Amino acid sequence: MQFTFYKYQGTGNDFVMIDNRHAIFDKNDTKLIAFLCDRRFGIGADGLILLENHEVYDFKMVYFNADGNESTMCGNGGRCIVAFAKFLGLIDQKAVFEAIDGKHEATIADGLVHLQMQDVDRIEAFKSHVFLDTGSPHHVQLDKNLSELDVKSKGASIRYGTPYHQRGGTNVNFVTKKSNDRFSVRTYERGVEDETLSCGTGVTAVAIAMHYIGETEKNLITLLTEGGELQVTFDNTASGYHNIWLIGPATQVFKGTLS
């Protein structure tokens, strides 16, 4: 069967996007998904996203890592599928959709997609790092030599190390503070098993972690990734972090057909 695909990117985090409202794509074909995401033999992407029908909301998001396996929430992918839904005419400026971690709301304004993330009420702070789940699990640690860091090697050692191998692994974020409300971030993503140019749930985790450990008192934080700038805003109460929004661009790169 021949089908149309679209390539989207959000601050360099790129995705193969497929309109699967007519159930044309086999979600169980792990090898096909991995092939499509392969940068040498396929289209090339950090992940593949299916837009599907939903009984109540505007659409459903189904996300697969580049290894072909369905994964936890992807923040930049969530922003990209909102832009894709607007391109398809499913939404105008607002969207409500379901992802693997539940309901999400989003808006599009001035070329930026604002995506509401899930609340965070549990954060584990250690001497060298912070661990929290922002739809996907994230290890966050400060590092002064971000530009010289071997993210793939160091990230993999943490991702597969104790105690994360018992939790199914984790994403790993290395952070340098630039000012009171600006932080540079480099991320190793599980499933991709390499550094990505940007990670939406990752920068969300970084913003919350930096606030939690007192590196900033701001609730609007700019994150500088290898692929561009993202912003995270939130409310902090005694019960945790709420009203969390991930903000940034999402762009269609090209479309094509595959047999």
CA nearest neighbour of 172 among 144, 141, 207, 150: 141
Single out the catalytic residue among 45, 50, 74, 206.
Answer: 74
Single out the catalytic residue among 34, 146, 199, 206.
Answer: 199
Which distant-in-sequence residues (6+ apart) come within 8 Å of 157 by Cβ? none
Q: Could you give the C-alpha distances from 213 to 1, 63, 127, 144, 174, in angstroms and in order?
A: 52, 31, 10, 17, 15
Which distant-in-sequence residues (6+ apart) come within 8 Å of 99 by Cβ? 60, 61, 63, 73, 78, 135
Q: Is 37 a catalytic residue?
A: no
Q: Is 80 a catalytic residue?
A: no
User: In this structure, what token pair is assigned to residue 254?
Assistant: 């090209």
Measured CA to CA, the distance from residue 204 to residue 230 in angstroms comes to 9
Report the catalytic residues. Answer: 74, 199
